[in-house]
């Protein structure tokens, strides 16, 4: 009788361990973070005349999004099925920012489409550089 109870506990423990492992090894969550300083590689590849640029350097799980704006900018990513909506909203008055905003965007791996929005309006990407 004791042996059967032990086997059940062992199976339950293995099941829980497996679930923890699968959860930890699952898809990462998409995220966006504004950087304080522009990375050198981004500075090398960006075009100062473009409004919105995607620059991917090395790592395929993330990329840099560069926005030209002299206002403060809030950012968010919204996932809808396999589509990522990257939302940028300018806040504050003109002249309240240095003019360039650099965001590091991490992919979830589950998106097959990305759409960019600036102040609620869909915006095309001006430039894509992959190096």
Q: How many domains does the chain have?
A: 1
Higher pLDDT, 24 or 112: 112
SS (H, E, C) the chain: CHHHHHHHHHHHHHHHHHHHHHHHCCCCCCEEEECCCCCHHHHHHCCCCCCEEEEECCCCCEEEEEEEECCEEEEEEEEECCEEEEEEEEECCCCCCCEEEEEEEECCCCCCEEEEEECCEECCCCEEEEC
Higher pLDDT, 17 or 50: 50
What was the pLDDT predicted at 84? 92
Domain that holds residue 96: 28-130
C-alpha 36/C-alpha 33 separation (Å) is 10
Residue 7 lies in a domain: no
Higher pLDDT, 8 or 121: 121
Residue 55 lies in a domain: yes
What's the pTM value of the predicted model, to 2 decimals?
Answer: 0.75
């Amino acid at each position: 009788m004791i042996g059967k109870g032990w086997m059940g506990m062992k199976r339950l423990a293995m099941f829980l361990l497996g679930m923890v492992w699968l959860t930890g090894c699952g898809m990462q969550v998409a995220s966006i973070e504004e950087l304080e300083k522009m990375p050198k590689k981004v500075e090398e590849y960006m075009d100062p005349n473009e409004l919105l640029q995607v620059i991917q350097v090395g790592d395929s799980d993330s990329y840099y999004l560069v926005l030209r704006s002299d206002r403060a900018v809030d950012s968010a990513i919204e996932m809808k099925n396999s589509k990522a909506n990257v939302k940028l909203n300018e806040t504050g008055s003109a002249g309240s920012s240095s003019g360039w905003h650099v965001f590091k965007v991490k992919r979830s791996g589950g998106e097959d489409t990305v759409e960019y929005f600036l102040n609620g309006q869909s915006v095309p990407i001006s430039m894509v550089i992959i190096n």
